Amino acid sequence: MAHTRTAIIAGNWKMNYGLKQAREFVQEILPALEQVVASYPHILSILCPPAISLETVHAILSEKPVPHIELGAQNMYFEEKGAFTGEISPLMVRELCSTVILGHSERRTYFGESDEQVNKKTLAALIHGLRPIVCIGENLEQYEMGETGEVIHTQIKGSLANLPTQQAQEIVIAYEPIWAIGTGKAATGEGAGKVVHLIRHLYGEMYGSEAAASLRILYGGSVTSGNISEFIAHPDIDGALVGGASIKADFVEIARKMVETMTQVVG
């Protein structure tokens, strides 16, 4: 990864760990995670527990703030307040989080989120000073039919339309091929790298080369401490959005391996 961009290791806990388990898990991993992020100047770790556990994790992180460990939500609605039962608003997320994951494939698949909705949420996040991690990626059928490029193109143009130019570089994109999520079948560093390169190119067409050069693009899909080096060694990949392994101690090991590889690559 190019060392001009700060690397991100984010953990998407999905629907795991309520208050007690979230507290116990964060207390378990935090000392080692703090050490890892403190050992490299250009790394940021973002923990994304379920909404109900955000405050608990926030309280632990606030006891002794570590500048490179932040909190993120897994979703939010784009309206600021009102009659939207079950939703949380950007203003609420902002009270606890720096970041919000948007358009995850599970939200697109199980809850019918469209590129248009993801776009509204992305714009709302930027307006409220949140860092959006916008997820895109093709499914198995599209992958096998060789349609990855087309799918990525449609998702980027749709989900990331009309961004204010001066904020275009605050976006983080996570390339998560759906066939690699939770399957144990990760993409290869080379395969993911090609798609990530395409994403950067398409983003450059939309917002110019400067925004594209600063854009952070993460890989997600069956990332473990065993394969993270392969991804982070690719010059276009700036980190990972980790699912299953983010609710285990392996998350710290992934961060450690990432730092190790970046130190070798960057020198």
Q: Does 117 bind ligand 13P (CB under 6 A)?
A: no
Half-sphere exposure of 29 (CA within 13 A, CB side): 27
- Asked whether 45 and 69 are in contact (CB, 8 A), the reply is yes
Query: Per the residue annotation, which of 70, 113, 138, 176 is the catalytic one?
Result: 176
Would you call 153 helix, strand, or coil by DSSP? helix
* Nearer CB in complex with ligand 13P: 178/211: 178
Q: Does 223 bind ligand 13P (CB under 6 A)?
A: yes
Q: Does 113 bind ligand 13P (CB under 6 A)?
A: no
Residue 70 known to be catalytic: no
Site string for ligand 13P, 159-198 (x = CB under 6 A): -----------------x----xx----------------
Q: Does 74 bind ligand 13P (CB under 6 A)?
A: no
| Closest CB 13 distance from ligand 13P, rounded Å | 9
Q: Any idea what the Cα angle at residue 211 is, between residues 176 and 8, rounded to 5°? A: 45
The count of chain residues that interact with ligand 13P, using the rule CB under 6 A, is: 14
Number of other residues whose CB lies within 10 A of the CB of residue 173? 27
Q: Any idea what the Cα angle at residue 189 is, between residues 247 and 176, rounded to 5°? A: 50
Residue 55 known to be catalytic: no
Using CB under 6 A, pick the residue from 242, 254, 255, 259 that binds ligand 13P: 242
* Cβ neighbourhood burial of 125 (10 Å; 0-12, 13-18, 19+): buried
Using CB under 6 A, pick the residue from 8, 9, 12, 89 that binds ligand 13P: 12
Q: Does 132 bind ligand 13P (CB under 6 A)?
A: no
**Cα separation of 73 and 107, whole Å?**
13
Which stretches of the chain bind ligand 13P, using CB under 6 A?
Answer: 12, 104, 176, 181-182, 220-223, 241-245
Residues with a catalytic annotation lie at: 104, 176
